[in-house]
Chains A and B, each alone.
Chain A
Amino acid sequence: MTMLPPENAGKKLGLVIDLDTCVGCHACAVNCKEWNTGGHSAPLPDDNPFGADASGVWFNRVHTYECGEDGNSRTVHFPRSCLHCENAACVAVCPTGASYKREEDGIVLVNEDICIGCKLCSWACPYGAREYDYDAGVMKKCTLCIDRIYNENLDEEDRVPACVSTCPANARHFGDLGDPNSDVSRLVAERGGVAPMEELGYKPVNRYLPPRPRRAGDDGGPQALQPVSPPDGSAADGLFRWIDRILSR
């Protein structure tokens, strides 16, 4: 049923992505592809992967931007995937009921058995998060790794989305954003987490933590190196200079 579930104060599973620590390594995107090509929406097409015209479905893509100007700019890596909106237009426009939002945890999914491949949901998504599978003729999207997070065959600590488990910078966090006391909700409150294009009214669940402001006096350029201990003319200082001369021969 593509009517959105009634809004409740229940579980809203989602991601919190730290734009301050993300190093843009694309590991989350790669591990996402790796897991999901064998997961709920398997297989993810990967046409001509080593050729000149590679194409395929990815649920997660990492963009890189320059933000700011006049020598005061910074690089921002922006991993982009489905934000599991509370007011998910992709679900409402679906004519068949294939796109749906789960009432119990808010995850937005596609039932590929009844999707007719009209692509209207991808037009309705402001974030470009849905990608069409030309081979299967159906729409595909991030499942929040529904086949990991509830998977009792995995160890407890591995029951997080593939992108979260693989991030080497710990820039990705998974949890219940509907619970104000959860770790992710606290993180969002502490760091001023934001929702992209909030003005459009889709009420995304995922949050992005903006880059931290620079420390005072830090203009982003390289700093002059300071000697660890400046020469002070003492006997020990002379000894070290003598050793340095010997070793430098």
Chain B
Amino acid sequence: MTTIISCQDIYHRYDAGGAGEVDALDGVDLEIDESEFVAIIGPNGSGKSTLAKHMNALLLPHQGRVLVAGRDTKDPDLLWEIRRTAGMVFQNPDNQIVATVVEEDVAFGPENLGLCPEEIKRRVVESLSAVEMTDYLKHAPHQLSGGQKQRVAIAGVLAMQPQVLVLDEPTAMLDPSGRREVLETVKRLNKQKGITVVLITHFMDEAVEADRVIVMDAGKIVVAGPPREVFSQVEVLRNVGLDVPQPTEVAHRLKAMGFDVPPDVLTVDELVAAVCR
């Protein structure tokens, strides 16, 4: 599998103060393969959002380097190609939509790339269809729900035909149905179109869907691996200040009480099967 994003021993210093508050990165090494679905979890202040912003050169490392599809983010000439390759969706659904009509907002990215009007139109239709928002072509953003706005934001990024989709806590401000919408859309894009997905989240039920889970704390990667492996390390996660899925926690407690229950159950079904053996 080819590596699409490579973070090589990166450091980022803490930048104190109000709205510009940014957490530190304290020596992070991370390789992400094409078409992988990676979830990055961690408490507030762990640096997960900072790490995400290094992947599309919104931030540059003070030490070490970041390669996106082989391109160094420090090279100013490659900046726009990198941002086209690694598209990013942010936490606040409203503060990403720039135009008064959905259609025009999705066109924003391609317009910036200087594509011709027919190509832009084609991509707008394609992207909205990929996120299942075709019916909302002519809607105004304020008429949409949070989940719909985030899907429009994703479409806006897809219209640039990126290889990687980085999502920085995209569901933090959504209600449960909005969260489901966004997660399903992201999973589908990953499985059907092979788009690499990097999902920053603090919802465990989202992280369990990933191929690989990276746990961060205080600017470092603490644990990484398939969800099963990571979530079974309940103590580590607890110390870092994170949740585990409830079934996993129950299994963990049962094991501590001396029962022979596998520690890596993730879902209700798995635990039921284990108990009824």
**Does chain A bind chain B?**
no
